[in-house]
Structure 1
């Protein structure tokens, strides 16, 4: 396995753990909204700097 695959797997695991933690706290809605906003912002910045 190369480092990029390991890093990718770790990020996926941490995202899942964050989702579980948010569900336990009852803040899953906020988390979903922030992730959606982050994706939109990232796409906009990608187009801006492309």
Structure 2
């Protein structure tokens, strides 16, 4: 198994754990909003630095 696959699995697990944690705390909406904002920012930066 390569380092990239291990890293990918770890990031996926951490995302799932973050979702579970947000569900327990009742802050799912805030988490979804932050994730959408992060993706939008990433796309914007990607366009700027092409």
In which range does the TM-score fall when normalised by the shorter chain?
over 0.9
Runs of 4+ in 1 over 6 A off after TM superposition: none
Aligned-residue CA RMSD in angstroms? 0.3
Query: TM-score if structure 1 supplies the norm length?
Result: 0.99
Q: Which residue of 1 aligns with 2:27?
A: 27
Q: Which residue of 2 aligns with 1:39?
A: 39
| Structure 2 Cα separation of the partners of residues 5 and 46 of structure 1 | 23
Structure 1 residue ranges without an equivalent (≥5) = none
How many matched pairs?
50
Q: Which residue of 2 aligns with 1:7?
A: 7
Structure 2 residue ranges without an equivalent (≥5) = none
| Structure 2 Cα separation of the partners of residues 43 and 21 of structure 1 | 27
Q: How much has 1:49 moved relative to structure 2?
A: 0.3
Query: TM-score if structure 2 supplies the norm length?
Result: 0.99
